[in-house]
């Protein structure tokens, strides 16, 4: 590695030292000629450290790794994805002692035996094979001090990498509370590495770790543990020689080890793809020979490494002899109890669901109010015209369309972070596993899917807890089928317009409430609403099954899950997690959502002669003002009338009547212009790209019972399904500010689609229940899967499903109706 052009290295404050200055150039810098490089580089042959030192952070799940990362880097991480995989890449900076080091967070894992490309990322980063990271100078391995033995398994693999290693014993307080005593100095000497005691959530030991990290250049690589028999290492060197013969230069010792130990692992797969089956034969021979000598691959690795771990800990760690029933066990006794467990689970899920469904609403309303305030402000500054329309209907609506999801995301991750940090999240998966297993998933898919009933966006983002890639992908792909809150307005509008207000009487209940204005019973509208909300979830079961049989085939992953001990959630950790998720959404998905909104604005604005519309918009403003003024005058007069009725020389009654007449007149004039504006808007929309698309697809949507008006509504609502109400309002010349319970819109629909209205209603509702009409969800899927393939796939399969569903509904409905 000679030069790196990564712009992230170009920040001037890190280019103080002369060897770093070369990295300070951007691509295309005129000074960067070969001669310049030759005269400024110390020696062309020697690889020069051009960038910052890099240190990787690795550890088991539930060891407080993210807390330590945040504590070390101060929440300034860059979040992205490793190229080509779904693994999140988090890179932060540590500044200490006037030195700066980059810290790379690797996914939490129990072992470094990569079976998939996703799992290979960590190994590649640590071995300096990951291009976008480069060489790693050292590794920090964080372990749970209260559970050293199992954690040392990963440590023994990390030590095999041959990198300078810093061992962090986190959760020191938990270990103390459990009366686990650890001879830290002894451990330091036995492993020959820096061992630092830490309580990450209390910021204890952080500076010591920072100091060790920034001075990692003084560390030497530790001795490899060598837990396997000598025959194994002999075969390793034979294999290395063999591979060199094949031209394989990357013979990192750890990769050779993995090649032998992981039957069908990622290292083997890659080599077989490259060199063909001869490799498999060689490997089978070696494994056969090792088996004869008593070293059974793949089972022997765990035994040897655990034996090593126990040997290391002997004499250094003492654990209370007999397992005491911990407080955590007693809590578990209740929370996983047959009845109490289910009750607590249902209650917690109810609260979470309520939060994202109901509690987020006021904040979302506030954002929408803010959005319209900004739009009003723009309207008062900029005359009607394309610019105002672009700013208000494109830009402001786009920003609002991103921000409006933030309350739900923040609330869901607030609860998830609390549940995760206190240890309940694993229990939720534990409780629901049996149910979720029936559709081929595991208990870990439950919370993401349940959250999707409020909104698929936080739901998809919450799938990160599912470490099995296939399960995670299937969960992501079916999450948008869950009936989210944005579908409700559509259902409400359609049922209000077309489903007869029948209430079926229920024995006793109806009789008991007979003298109420509306006696209680089961309403048909309610049944329809419930059916629509359940439809997506019901369809998701066969979809999940099918996905598991096709794209995500493979053996059922085991449900081997650690149940961490309960603890009080930390405010800091919860806050950090909420901030992290919201930022990830706004930065990574928000830009794409914004772009989609602007695009759709353009499609509904162009082409068209907007001059009449702008004229009307301009003339409506003074008319509205005069109505307001007239109203105000009338109110004042009426107030005066109340307080000063005995005033003799005035005839207030006359003046009130006058004002009333004036108000009525102003309103009538406003009404005329408003009607014309609504009509013009409707015509403009019909003539726009969007409207033409509606006409264009009419033959395709005829079999669903739709006309072009519904077609336009549906097309316009592909970026966001709730838009259909406003679009139908515009198309029916009622203005775009109608709501789903607007009587004008309901009566328009009822009279327009008189004969087969109810069948049409079902066809539209089924379509909306199954269709992926949400650009934001698709963009979040893009972000979470790190590929365009899956949002495109989701869009295609759900649209096909929706079309078929609506077709079937309409055709069957018409047969039943006639």
Partner 1 sequence: MVNTPDELQPGERGRIIEVSGEDAITVRLMEMGLTDGEEIELIGRAPLGDPLEFAIRGYRLSLRTEEARRISIERLQ
Contact stretch for partner 1 (CB under 8 A) within 71-79, 341-349, 377-385, 686-694: 341-349
**Out of 338, 381, 553, 754, the residue judged to bind partner 1 by CB under 8 A:** 338
CB of 257 to partner 1, least distance (A): 15
Task: Give kind and range of the element (H or E) at residue 153.
Answer: helix 148-160
What pairing do the DSSP bridges indicate for beta strands 138-144 and 317-318? unpaired
**Out of 515, 555, 649, 743, the residue judged to bind partner 1 by CB under 8 A:** 555
Nearest to 665 by CA among 636, 629, 695: 629
Closest to partner 1 by CB, 67 or 113: 113
* Tokens read off for 139: 């590794």
φ and ψ of 142, to 5 deg: -100, 135
Closest to partner 1 by CB, 86 or 146: 146
Closest to partner 1 by CB, 111 or 736: 111
Nearest to 767 by CA among 532, 506, 597, 558: 532
**Out of 70, 113, 165, 680, the residue judged to bind partner 1 by CB under 8 A:** 113
CB of 411 to partner 1, least distance (A): 27
**Out of 5, 15, 96, 149, the residue judged to bind partner 1 by CB under 8 A:** 149
Is residue 378 near partner 1 by the rule CB under 8 A? no
Closest to partner 1 by CB, 281 or 320: 320
The answer to whether the CB of 446 falls within 8 A of the CB of 429 is: yes
Is residue 342 near partner 1 by the rule CB under 8 A? yes
Is residue 131 near partner 1 by the rule CB under 8 A? no
CB of 272 to partner 1, least distance (A): 17
Residue in the structure block whose two tokens are 């775009």: 736
Separation between Cα atoms, residue 425 and residue 215, nearest integer Å: 37
Separation between Cα atoms, residue 347 and residue 356, nearest integer Å: 15
Separation between Cα atoms, residue 102 and residue 66, nearest integer Å: 15
**Out of 437, 567, 583, 692, the residue judged to bind partner 1 by CB under 8 A:** 437
Contact stretch for partner 1 (CB under 8 A) within 204-212, 487-495, 559-567, 698-706: 559-567
What pairing do the DSSP bridges indicate for beta strands 181-182 and 165-170? unpaired
**Out of 63, 66, 122, 147, the residue judged to bind partner 1 by CB under 8 A:** 147
CA angle 780, 79, 582 (to 5 degrees): 55
Residue in the structure block whose two tokens are 């996983």: 336
**Out of 26, 31, 249, 323, the residue judged to bind partner 1 by CB under 8 A:** 323
Separation between Cα atoms, residue 537 and residue 526, nearest integer Å: 18
CA angle 352, 357, 360 (to 5 degrees): 95
Is residue 562 near partner 1 by the rule CB under 8 A? yes
**Out of 66, 146, 392, 597, the residue judged to bind partner 1 by CB under 8 A:** 146
CB of 178 to partner 1, least distance (A): 8
Is residue 63 near partner 1 by the rule CB under 8 A? no
**Out of 100, 176, 336, 485, the residue judged to bind partner 1 by CB under 8 A:** 336
Residues 277-306 that bind partner 1 (CB under 8 A): 298-299, 301-303, 306
Contact stretch for partner 1 (CB under 8 A) within 97-105, 515-523, 560-568, 593-601: 560-568
Chain-centroid distance of CA 64 in Å reads: 21
Q: Is 409 helix (H, G, I), strand (E, B) or coil?
A: helix
Count of residues that bind partner 1 according to CB under 8 A: 48
Residues 398-427 that bind partner 1 (CB under 8 A): 426
CB of 52 to partner 1, least distance (A): 33
The answer to whether the CB of 348 falls within 8 A of the CB of 587 is: no
What pairing do the DSSP bridges indicate for beta strands 138-144 and 53-59? parallel
CB of 128 to partner 1, least distance (A): 25
**Out of 14, 153, 414, 768, the residue judged to bind partner 1 by CB under 8 A:** 153
Task: Give kind and range of the element (H or E) at residue 674.
Answer: helix 652-687
Closest to partner 1 by CB, 97 or 329: 329
CB of 427 to partner 1, least distance (A): 9
What pairing do the DSSP bridges indicate for beta strands 78-81 and 88-96? antiparallel
The answer to whether the CB of 367 falls within 8 A of the CB of 403 is: yes
CB of 560 to partner 1, least distance (A): 5
3-state secondary structure 33-74: CHHHHHHHCCCCCCCCCCCCEEEEEEECCCCCHHHHHHHHHC
Nearest to 55 by CA among 15, 93, 107, 10: 93
Closest to partner 1 by CB, 335 or 758: 335
Residue numbers at the binding site for partner 1 (CB under 8 A)? 110-111, 113, 115, 146-147, 149-150, 153, 263-264, 298-299, 301-303, 306, 319, 323, 328-329, 332-333, 336-339, 341-342, 345, 426, 430-431, 433-435, 437, 443, 555, 557-565
């Amino acid at each position: 590695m000679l030069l790196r052009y990564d712009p992230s290295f170009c920040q001037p404050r890190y280019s103080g030292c002369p060897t770093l200055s070369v990295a300070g150039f951007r691509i295309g810098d005129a000074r960067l000629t070969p001669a310049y490089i030759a005269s400024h580089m110390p020696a062309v042959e020697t690889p020069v450290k051009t960038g910052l030192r890099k240190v990787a952070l690795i550890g088991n799940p539930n060891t407080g790794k993210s807390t330590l990362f945040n504590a070390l880097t101060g929440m300034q991480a860059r979040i992205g994805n490793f190229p080509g995989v779904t693994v999140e890449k988090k890179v932060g900076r540590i500044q200490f002692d006037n030195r700066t080091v980059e810290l790379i967070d690797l996914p939490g894992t129990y072992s470094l035996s990569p079976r998939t490309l996703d799992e290979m990322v960590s190994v590649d980063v640590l071995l300096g094979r990951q291009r976008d990271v480069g060489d790693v100078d050292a590794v920090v391995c964080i372990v749970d001090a209260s559970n050293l033995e199992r954690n040392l398994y990963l440590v023994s693999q990390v030590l095999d990498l041959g990198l300078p290693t810093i061992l962090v014993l986190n959760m020191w307080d938990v270990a103390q509370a459990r009366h686990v005593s650890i001879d830290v100095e002894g451990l330091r000497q036995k492993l020959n590495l820096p061992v630092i005691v830490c309580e990450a959530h209390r910021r204890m030991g952080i500076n010591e770790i920072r100091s060790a990290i920034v001075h990692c250049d003084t560390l030497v690589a530790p001795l490899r543990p060598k837990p396997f028999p000598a025959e194994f290492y002999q075969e390793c060197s034979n294999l290395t020689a063999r591979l060199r013969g094949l031209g394989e230069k990357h013979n990192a010792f750890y990769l050779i080890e993995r090649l032998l130990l992981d039957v069908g692992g990622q290292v083997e797969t890659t080599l077989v793809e490259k060199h063909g089956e001869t490799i498999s034969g060689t490997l089978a021979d070696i494994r056969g020979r090792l088996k004869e000598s008593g070293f059974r691959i793949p089972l022997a690795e765990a035994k040897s490494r655990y034996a090593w771990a126990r040997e290391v800990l002997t004499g250094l760690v003492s654990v209370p002899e007999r397992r005491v029933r911990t407080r955590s066990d007693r809590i578990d006794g209740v929370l996983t109890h047959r009845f109490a467990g289910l009750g607590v689970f249902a209650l917690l899920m109810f609260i979470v669901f309520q939060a994202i469904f109901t509690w987020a609403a006021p904040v979302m309303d506030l954002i929408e109010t803010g959005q319209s305030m900004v739009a009003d402000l723009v309207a008062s500054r900029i005359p009607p015209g394309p610019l105002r329309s672009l700013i208000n209907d494109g830009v402001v609506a786009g920003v609002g369309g991103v921000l409006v999801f933030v309350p739900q995301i923040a609330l869901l991750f607030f609860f998830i972070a609390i549940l995760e940090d206190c240890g309940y999240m694993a229990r939720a998966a534990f409780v629901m596993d049996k149910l979720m297993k029936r559709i081929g998933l595991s208990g870990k898919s439950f919370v993401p899917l349940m959250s999707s009933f409020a909104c698929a966006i936080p739901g998809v983002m919450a799938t990160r807890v599912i470490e099995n890639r296939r399960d995670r992908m299937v969960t992501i792909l079916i999450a948008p089928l869950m009936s989210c809150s944005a579908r409700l307005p559509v259902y409400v509008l359609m049922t209000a317009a077309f489903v007869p207000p029948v209430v079926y009487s229920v024995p006793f209940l109806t009789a008991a409430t007979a003298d109420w204005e509306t006696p209680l019973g089961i309403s048909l509208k309610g049944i329809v609403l419930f059916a629509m909300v359940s439809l997506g979830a019901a369809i998701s079961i066969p979809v999940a099954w099918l996905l598991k049989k096709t794209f995500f085939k493979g053996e059922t992953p085991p449900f081997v899950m650690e149940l961490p001990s309960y603890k009080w959630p930390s405010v800091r950790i919860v806050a950090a997690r909420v901030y992290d998720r919201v930022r990830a959404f706004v930065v990574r998905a928000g830009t794409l959502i914004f772009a989609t909104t602007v695009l759709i604005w353009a499609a509904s604005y162009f082409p068209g002669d907007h001059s009449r519309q702008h004229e009307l918009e301009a003339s409506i403003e003074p008319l509205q003002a005069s109505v307001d003024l007239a109203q105000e005058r009338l109110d004042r007069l009426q107030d005066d009338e109340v307080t000063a009725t005995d005033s003799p020389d005035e005839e207030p009654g006359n003046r009130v009547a006058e004002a009333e007449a004036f108000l009525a007149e102003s309103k009538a004039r406003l009404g005329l212009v408003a009607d014309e504006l609504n009509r013009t808007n409707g015509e403009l929309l019909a003539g726009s790209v969007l409207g033409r698309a509606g006409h264009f697809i009419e033959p395709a949507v005829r079999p669903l019972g739709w006309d072009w008006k519904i077609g336009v509504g549906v097309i316009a609502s592909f970026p966001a399904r709730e838009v259909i109400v406003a679009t139908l309002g515009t198309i029916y010349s009622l203005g775009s500010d109608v709501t789903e319970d607007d009587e004008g819109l309901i009566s328009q629909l009822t009279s327009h689609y008189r004969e087969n209205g109810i069948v049409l209603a079902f066809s539209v509702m089924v379509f909306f229940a199954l269709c992926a009409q949400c650009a934001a969800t698709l963009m979040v899927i893009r972000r979470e899967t790190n590929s365009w393939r899956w949002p495109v796939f989701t869009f295609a399969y759900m649209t096909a499903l929706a079309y078929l569903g609506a077709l079937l509904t309409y055709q069957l409905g018409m047969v039943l109706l006639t």
